[in-house]
Structure 1
Amino acid sequence: MKDEKIDRLKKLLPVKITGIAPQKKRKDRFSLFHNDTFLIGISGGTLLSQNIQKETVLTSQLLNQILDDEEYQSVKDACYRYLSRRDHAAMELRQKITQKGLRASVADLIIEEFEQKGLIDDYRFAKKFAADKMELKKWGPLKIKNALLRKGVKKSISEKVTQNIIENLEQDGICVDLLRKRKAHFLRETDPMKRRQKMYRYLAGKGFYNREINDAINRVKSEFDVK
């Protein structure tokens, strides 16, 4: 709601609500009137939570409660939209909310509500994120762990998920496949030592650990003519 509209409304208070009508374009929202004067538009949820009816007197206190409810519902709607597109970590979702200028305190309340309802679960998010990055982008555990930490996932969860990758995936086999897909690129380097260094840097950039990288390079050293 624009501040100037709210300021104009405040000058009318207290005022009796004499009419309540559903909005034409948004059936989930209602317009409040005093006689023929439009006062404010609110959601159906706010209408119920504040028990607003005809003859209700709109006071400064009630208006503030309405504005708080509307902001809360606005944040919830935004969260539902974000989550309908993909899973989010709690901190990642909170950052998106606050970047839109909404109050951090409201964001925290909604994040807590969504966590209690199971709509947000950082461990579930981390497992899916890791699986997607491994399958689609062939990221290694180190890159996945760092990405999860940047998204605000707790260190304990990030480490648990990446440890599962380390224990259940043949990382050096994945590294070998990655190297072979870029074989022509690496062979353009004529110096064998520099070629090995480029192969190493490529796999390190993918997020694999030193041991798996060296094991993979050693498995293909004859193919790539490196020592």
Structure 2
Amino acid sequence: MEESNGRKKTLTPQQAKLKAESYCAYQERAQQEVRDKLYEWGLHHDEVENIMTQLIVDNYLNEERFAKAFALGKFRMKGWGKIKIKQHLKAKRVSPPLIKIALEEIDLDEYEEKLKEIIKKKTNKRTTNLSLTEKAKLIRYLQSKGYENEIIFNIISKE
């Protein structure tokens, strides 16, 4: 959205509110993402905060709903573990209590099943007779996906 002279086009508060509503309706958003967008569209602090309040009141924005959708989505679609999900929610400035609520949405049995699935894929279905190097590589990979050491070691030792 650039004008021909290279400057960014600024929106009126009403235009920005409408655009923010469709931005939020498209998918769940963190409050900080929306706030950043409003500033990007050339609005000032008071206008941004008024629009944010209106989006929350009208239920376009709901931080808890966003956190839950984000956590379940990243877990189910990308196979992320709780550590990585937590880091990404923190980066989006979601509050610690909401991060805790979001992570509690992930069913422990489903979590362990997903981890076993990732291990099977990564090791071509075998976990017995892995060399120490292969085991270390597997553990590092699972840590990078955001899984906790305790759960990784429990599952690897059972398999």
Query: Counterpart of 2:23 in structure 1: which amino acid?
Result: Y
Percentage identity across paired residues of the two chains? 26
1:96 aligns to 2:18 (yes or no): no
Question: Residues of 2 paired with 1:118 and 1:161: CA distance?
Answer: 18
Q: CA deviation at 1:102?
A: 2.4
Question: Residues of 2 paired with 1:131 and 1:172: CA distance?
Answer: 14
1:150 aligns to 2:119 (yes or no): no
Greater Cα radius of gyration, structure 1 or 2: 1
Q: Is 169-178 or 116-125 further displaced after alignment?
A: 169-178
Measured against aligned partners, the alpha-carbon deviations of 1:107-127 in whole angstroms (never above 9, x if no partner) come to 111011111122111001111
Measured against aligned partners, the alpha-carbon deviations of 1:154-194 in whole angstroms (never above 9, x if no partner) come to 111012211342xx22233321110111214x99xxx8112
Q: Which residue of 1 aligns with 2:114?
A: 174
Task: Let me know the Cα RMSD of the aligned residues.
Answer: 2.4
Q: CA deviation at 1:98?
A: 1.3
Q: Report the 3-state secondary structure (helix = DSSP H, G, I; strand = E; otherwise coil) of the residue aligned with 2:59.
A: coil
1:216 aligns to 2:155 (yes or no): yes
Q: Report the 3-state secondary structure (helix = DSSP H, G, I; strand = E; otherwise coil) of the residue aligned with 1:111.
A: helix
Question: Residues of 2 paired with 1:140 and 1:124: CA distance?
Answer: 19
Asked if the contact 1:199/1:217 (under 8 Å) is kept, the reply is no
Q: Which residue of 2 aligns with 1:205?
A: 144
Gapped regions of structure 2 (runs ≥ 5):
4-10
Q: How many residues align?
A: 148
- TM-score scaled to structure 2, two decimals? 0.82
Q: Report the 3-state secondary structure (helix = DSSP H, G, I; strand = E; otherwise coil) of the residue aligned with 1:94.
A: helix
Deviating runs (4+, > 3 A) in structure 1? none
Q: Is 70-79 or 127-136 further displaced after alignment?
A: 70-79
Query: Counterpart of 1:136 in structure 2: which amino acid?
Result: M
Q: Which residue of 2 aligns with 1:84?
A: 25
- TM-score scaled to structure 1, two decimals? 0.59
Question: Residues of 1 paired with 2:145 and 2:68: CA distance?
Answer: 18
Q: CA deviation at 1:76?
A: 0.4
More strand per residue: 1
Q: Which residue of 1 aligns with 2:100?
A: 159
Within 5 Å, give how 1:50-129 maps onto structure 2. 71-129=12-70
Q: Is 156-165 or 195-204 further displaced after alignment?
A: 156-165
